Amino acid sequence: MARYLVGKNGFLKKTWEFIQALEAAGDGDIIELEEGFSPFYEQNNKSITITKNITIEGHPDNDGALTNIIDGVVIKNGAVVTLKNLEVRKGVDKSNNINVKEGAVLAAENVLLTSYAAAGENYPVVFISNGSKASFVNSVVAPGNLHDQNYQVYAENSTLEIANSTLHAWIQVSNSKLDIQSSVIQYAENCALFAKKNSVVTISSSTLEGGCRTEKGAWSSVKLLDSNLNAADIFVKQSEYDKALYAINSKLTLDSGRYDSLCIEKSEASIGNICVVESFFICDSSHVQAGGIYIVGRHNGKVNLYLTKKSTLEADIVCFGQLIEPNTKAERNTKINVGMMIQAAYDSQNWEFIPDEQGSAKKTGDAPEIVYFGELTAFERLNQMVGIASVKQAVEEFVAIAEMNKRREKQGFQNSAFSLHSMFLGNPGTGKTTVARLLGEILYEKEIISSKKFVETSRSDLVGRYIGETAVKTREVLESALGGVLFIDEAYTLWAGNENSQDYGIEAINEILKFMEDHRQDIVLIFAGYTHSMEQFLESNEGLKSRIPNTFLFEDYTQEELIRIGLDDLHNQKYEIDEKAYADLVYKKHSESDDNSNGRWVRNLNEKLIRKMALRVSRDPNANLVLIMQEDIDAV
């Protein structure tokens, strides 16, 4: 290993010129810059290119200040280069201070990177590409003079390591590995860090401060796109934006950190204990599993905890520093499972929690109830239906088994076969079609079936007029419902009650049986009809009976339930009526009727009421068009 001293020649000493030393040095050699000597002034804005394994090191003064400056450096062809105790400066725009490419390796220790271009366009201060690797220890990227939001350290398909350093530039990595330890990243014109395209980022004991708002939009302090982040004891600062850490389609592991705000979309987060100063948004089918989430909460008009679009939150504890209305807001299709949600003591000046003697949150009260918004879930709409209590319970058990089997399958357990095909038995108007549609939505929401499709059919849609037509018609209907639910109403009509070969309903049944066997996991078939007729239908074909194990019995509505259904129907149409008078009408008319059409019966009764009302108001131009009067009830 040879050492080349570069500096000014004197009477008693002989030193190398910088370029000559670079040409003469071989693998493993060291180029040493004499204290105070800077080749920069002789390079004329031309970067040096290094293709061999060498070290270039300078000599700080007694106070530790760097005294050696070189112009830009290009490292390529797999070279392994160490830069130590140097300033690497660029005085012109559209140039890199350091460019590492073609599988090269850079180790920079106590290196200062500066850019003094007065006009033009920034290129990355550091550019790493083509499977290369660069590490910076005890180093600094000084602020640049050009403010074009593009003063950055960039790595593509490479590895970047930063330790005990300060960067006044933003870091962008694409399909790369990034490791940051005990460092500060500050950049007010863009992100502090942007990771994309399957990058893997690890950060510990560091502060990242950046992000901004412009006419073109807003930039987060830390943004991840299709990437992984593992972070411990970090501080992500950005007080003027609600997405200080913004992750899209990414995976995060966070512990012992402090974040001004977080927003994740289509992402997964595993959290130990973190402090959030403002808000935590969990959006677009994201999943968060946490030990403790401590949200101080500033008065900024934002909800502290916000969930949308099928996202889930599972946490041992969620603490709020101050109470607002509401602290937590969630779309109805989300799921929140939190052991405790409380208010805890906090320091309003420093925006941090005040721990108790054990270091835990000091509870001062319970958090307000969660405020839900958006369309009711299918389960909620099912539970809002009048009556059918036994059906609701059966649906809940049915879905629970299907969901458990799915979870067991994901964990590698072998499940016993569980068929989703079902029989809905009961008189007309008892809600069979409505429940079938809701069951399909529930199975879709739980990701048990792949499609929200609901196809309603009957004998006329399945059975043809000649041999061969039925199989084609039936198969077309079955295929149209693949991935979803096929509801066959009055299914017993497919069986004519005899074995007459001219009844093509039997051909439809055989086609259905074959399709059920070939597409066990791809479709849910629900057969519906009168209880007695459907039982005969099942007995007609042993294959059907064995393939439809789930039976839901829809009982007739009581008179009280019919009154509730009728009143709901009128109120939904914005009519008003005396509820007692209406109840008396239902009791009287239902007692006189032998009609078992249930909900259909009471809706027909309402139509009669509305017709009588219409006849009355047609004679009075000043009549109230909302109020159904006693004379309308008497007329019915």
3-state secondary structure of 181: strand
Structure tokens at 482: 């693949």
CA 465, chain centre distance (Å) = 51
Structural domain 559-635, CATH architecture: Orthogonal Bundle (1.10)
- The answer to whether the CB of 403 falls within 8 A of the CB of 397 is no
Q: What's the pTM value of the predicted model, to 2 decimals?
A: 0.75
Q: Give the right CATH number for 378-554 from 3.30.360.10, 3.40.605.10, 3.40.50.920, 3.40.50.300.
A: 3.40.50.300
pLDDT given for residue 501 in this prediction: 44
* Tokens at 237, concatenated: 């600062």
DSSP letter, residue 301: S
Q: Is 24 helix (H, G, I), strand (E, B) or coil?
A: helix
Q: For residues 254 and 233, is the Cβ–Cβ distance under 8 A?
A: no
Beta strand pairing status for 217-219 and 212-214? antiparallel
Neighbouring C-beta atoms of residue 166, cutoff 10 Å? 15
CA distance 508 to 540: 14
Task: Parse the chain into domains and list their residue ranges.
Answer: 1-168, 378-554, 559-635
How far apart CA 176 and CA 100 sit, in angstroms, is 14
State how far the Cα of 354 lies from the Cα of 334, in Å rounded to an integer: 31
Token readout for 246 is 């913004």
Q: Give the β-pairing of 177-181 and 193-196.
A: unpaired
Task: Give the amino acid at 24.
Answer: A
Q: Which residues of the chain have pLDDT under 50?
A: 498, 500-502
Token duo for residue 496: 């004519």
Nearest to 241 by CA among 194, 279, 268: 279
DSSP output for 392-445: HHHHHHHHHHHHHHHHHHHTTPPPPP----EEEEE-TTSSHHHHHHHHHHHHHH
- Distance (Å, rounded) from C-alpha 206 to C-alpha 382? 50
Residue 258: which H helix or E strand, with range? strand 257-259
Helix (H, G, I), strand (E, B) or coil at 583: helix
The values of phi and psi at residue 77, to 5°, are: 55, 35
Residue type, 19: I
Contact 464, 472 (CB under 8 A): yes
pLDDT tens track for 71-106? 999 999 999 999 999 999 999 999 999 999 999 999
Residue pair 33/6 in contact by the 8 Å Cβ criterion? yes
User: How far is residue 407's CA from residue 297's CA, in Å, rounded to a whole number?
Assistant: 36
**Secondary structure class of 635 (helix, strand, coil):** helix
- Supply the pLDDT for residue 12: 62
CB distance 613 to 628 below 8 Å: yes
* Helix and strand totals (H; E) in the chain: 14, 46
**What is the C-alpha separation between 317 and 514, in angstroms, rounded?**
51
Q: What is the token pair recorded at 628? A: 């159904």
The answer to whether the beta carbons of residues 234 and 252 sit under 8 Å apart is no
Per DSSP bridges, beta strands 105-115 and 346-347 are unpaired
For 35, phi then psi, to 5°, come to -55, 130
Beta-strand runs (E) in 261-374: 262-265, 268-276, 280-283, 287-295, 305-307, 312-320, 328-331, 335-344, 346-347, 352-353, 363-366, 371-373
The encoded tokens of residue 186 equal 């500050």
